[in-house]
A and B are shown apart, each in its own frame.
Chain A
Amino acid sequence: MSAVFHDPDEAVERALFERRARVQGGAPGVPSLDEVLRAARDDSGETSSGRRRAWSGLALAAACLVTVIKTRPHDVSPSGITADVDGAASGTTDRGGGMCEEQAAVSSSTLDSTYASIVAVAPATQDSRACVAPPATFESFGTLSCDRDEANRTEMP
């Protein structure tokens, strides 16, 4: 194999490249030595681009975290809501059941718009679930009960 690489024709390739290099001799765009030395001096030490990127990434992450914490709905303190609901419920309704008391308290409370929007969403979703669920359970329950009745009838005599 080494005989192949001793091919003297490599001189042809080298001559081509040499001619091309001569043509491209004074290539524009080569930075000056001063420029490079200045950049090497400015870019060294504490202000390397890697560290700059790391710090800016960290700052961005911290900013995102603060934004998320500030805008989270969980920040509404549950103890404050409970206190309002309990107070209203004890004053206006009887103690028939927990659910009834809570709904009455919500409708008559004076929560601000943020609390009201949070509380108003919950009953709506419960209603929609209630509308969808009953037909399915009714159908399936009916067929099951018929089968059971047939079985009971055959065993009776």
Chain B
Amino acid sequence: MRAFFGDGADAPDADGDAVTLAPSTTACDRATLVSMYGDIAPRVHRFLRDLLGDATLASDATQETFVRAFRRVDDLPRATRLVPWVFGVARFVALEMRKARGRVRRVIDDGVAADDRAIDTQARTPEDTLLDREAVAVVERALGRLPEERRAALLLRCDHGLAYDEIAPLMGWSLSKVKVEIFRAREVLRATLQEYRGGGT
């Protein structure tokens, strides 16, 4: 993730037009995609898991996403930004899978349990562990409250660092709609965080 967005200075600003991707991501060919795979595949898997609500389904969707990406990457125009394009393919695959299998209910508890296991295995301070647990719980709960498209937009913006003008064509929305949708999604996330902290103290 750091390879694409740096250490915060390269991350998208609030305008959403200051994404500075690593130079390797500007080339749009098979070799670049191969070299990026190790970094981007876990992110795409997480994105698909958040969209589909099922880790196993997300694995299948990740494979399908990259199979399609590898088949088409050499035909892309050189100006194409590879990371947003791959996320666009992933979203399309998620929509197809949902359509094929019917509406998939998000299984939040399953995700939280898996995350708890991951938290417990890491050597961290109790405070860090508590904050990790809070972050996972709040995000999962907020995502579960969002409609699917708004959830996808929030994930692309806040989790994967895409700019507004990269999200717009990916979602098929205007730039202003992207901003409004993400703003409303962020409101839900903040309200969930308030609830969590209010309930926890």
Q: Could you tell me which A residues sit within 8 Å of B by CB distance?
A: 1-2, 4-10, 12-17, 19-31, 33, 35-37, 39-40, 43-44
Contact = CB atoms under 8 A, between A and B. Distances in A.
A20 B186 CA distance: 16
Interface string B1-30: 100000000010011000000000000000
A7 B183 CA distance: 10
Chain B binding surface, main DSSP class? helix
Chain A binding surface, main DSSP class? helix
Interface of B: 1, 11, 14-15, 34, 37-38, 41-43, 45-46, 49, 55-56, 58-59, 62-63, 66-67, 70-71, 114-115, 118-119, 122, 131-132, 135-136, 138-139, 154-155, 158-159, 161, 176, 179, 182-183, 186, 189-190, 193
B58 A23 contact: no
19 contacts: A2-B15, A12-B193, A13-B158, A20-B135, A21-B43, A21-B159, A22-B132, A23-B118, A23-B122, A23-B135, A25-B118, A26-B42, A27-B46, A30-B45, A30-B59, A31-B62, A31-B66, A39-B63, A40-B66
Contacts of A31: 41, 59, 62-63, 66
Contacts of B1: 21
A15 to B, nearest CB: 8
Contacts of A16: 135, 138-139, 158, 189, 193
Contacts, number: 114
Q: Closest 6 A-B residue pairs measured CB to CB?
A: A29-B59, A19-B135, A40-B70, A17-B159, A31-B63, A36-B66
A2 B76 CA distance: 33
B190 A9 contact: yes
Given A10-B14, A16-B193, A27-B42, A36 B139 contact: no
A14 B11 contact: yes
B67 A36 contact: yes
Given A13-B158, A14-B11, A36-B67, A29 B45 contact: yes
